[in-house]
Structure formats: structure tokens, C-alpha cells
A and B are shown apart, each in its own frame.
Chain A
Amino acid sequence: NAGVMQNPRHLVRRRGQEARLRCSPMKGHSHVYWYRQLPEEGLKFMVYLQKENIIDESGMPKERFSAEFPKEGPSILRIQQVVRGDSAAYFCASSPSRQGSGNTIYFGEGSWLTVV
């Protein structure tokens, strides 16, 4: 029973380049969440997606960041023109549905982005 799979685990980008982080949810899960954790800070919600739909992007920076979850394939978090402040761990989580307060979400091991 594979868990949430994220890749790459570590990514180094120069300032101005693009970063693409991928997330494959657990089998049977159709809801994906992205969180960011800056160095020595807590986890911050970024975006919540269902297949082909962005449900809540209230935590996404207004510029340079985008997310998608296509009908086929993994969810992608895309960061354009990266800056040093984008250096962080990006965690993806998934759940089978959002109905009901009792549902929990399961996290992947994260993707560590370093901007040099």
C-alpha cells in the first residue's frame, strides 16, 4: 500500500529558473493538498485540489506559483522564476475525500527546494 509519493526529494535551482514538484497521492485518493515549510518555521497550507479542479488556493502566493492536478498523472506544484526565499520543504498530502470532519490526510516525505 504505497503512500504519498513526492519527487524529486531534493532539487537545486538557480535564481530565475523554474521548479516543478510532483506528487502522486495514495491509491484511491482524489484530493491533494500542498503545504510549505520554511526553514525553522511551521507548515503552511498552500493549495487544495481535486482532479482537474483547484478548490482552495488561499495559501498560494499570488505570483509565480501555480498548481494542477490533471485527470491523469500526478499533481504538480510549479514555481516560476525562483528566488532564494522559495527555498523550503514542500509537502504534499492526500485524502480519499473531504466529506466529514473525521477524514484525515496523509503526507509524503516532502521535496526540499534549494535556490542558489
Chain B
Amino acid sequence: DAKTTQPPSMDCAEGRAANLPCNHSTISGNEYVYWYRQIHSQGPQYIIHGLKNNETNEMASLIITEDRKSSTLILPHATLRDTAVYYCIVRNYGQNFVFGPGTRLSVLP
């Protein structure tokens, strides 16, 4: 079972920041937070992951709260091509990646 809780859907205006929340209140000290997304009819695409510190790459930023019980994925300037299902995954060493239902993000023109 997935260890995370995400809203089922969100809308975002094109050009604005998309902030996708994820709750993982039972996360343990060695577990990383990963984000993937799946655009319709494509394979899941890795976005970013982190342990404790905030992370940023060319795609997105990951903000993890100090107690690590929740995180937010930020797409700074959402485009129509960012419309996808976004998955937040918590994973420890030796565990498989378990995908929940994710958040369906719709970027609106």
C-alpha cells in the first residue's frame, strides 16, 4: 500500500506555479520522497527526490517540511505539457516503488 496521501485532482493556470502537496506522516528516517509523473499514454517520468533538504532541478523544486511528514512539489511556471498524473512515493532501501492514485494536474490555458 502507498504510504502517501495526495489530492485526487488540481487545476493550475498556465504560466503560474503549480504546488502539489503530499502527506507522508508515517515516513521513517531512512525513507526518501520521490516524485514521478505520467503523461497520458506514456511511461512514468522521474522528476525529483529528496531525503531532508529541499531540492531543485531543471524540472521542479521539492520542499520537505522539517518534520518530514509532508512535502510539496513545485512546478515554477506550469505549461500545458505539464498536464499529467503526479505521484508522490516514499521508499526505503530494498523496497519497491509503490504507486498510489496520484494527483491529476490539469494546466488550463
Instruction: Enumerate chain A interface residues (CB-CB to B < 8 A).
Output: 4, 33, 35, 42-45, 48, 56, 59, 91, 93, 98-102, 104-110
Q: Does B9 contact A (CB under 8 A)?
A: no
A107-B43 CB under 8 A given contacts A42-B102, A101-B92: yes
Instruction: Enumerate chain B interface residues (CB-CB to A < 8 A).
Output: 30-32, 34, 36, 38, 42-46, 49, 51, 91-94, 96-102
Are A48 and B32 touching (Cβ within 8 A)?
no
Measured between alpha carbons, how far is A35 from B16 in the docked complex, in Å?
33
Q: Is the interface of A mostly helix, strand, loop or mixed?
A: loop
Are B49 and A104 touching (Cβ within 8 A)?
yes
A-B contacts, CB under 8 A, total = 51
Are A45 and B100 touching (Cβ within 8 A)?
no
Interface residue from B49, B99, B100 paired with A102 (Cβ < 8 Å): B49
Taking each of B30, B38, B44, which has the highest tally of chain A beta carbons within 10 Å of its own beta carbon?
Answer: B44
Interface residue from A56, A104, A110 paired with B96 (Cβ < 8 Å): A56
Say how far A84's CB is from chain B's closest CB, in angstroms.
20
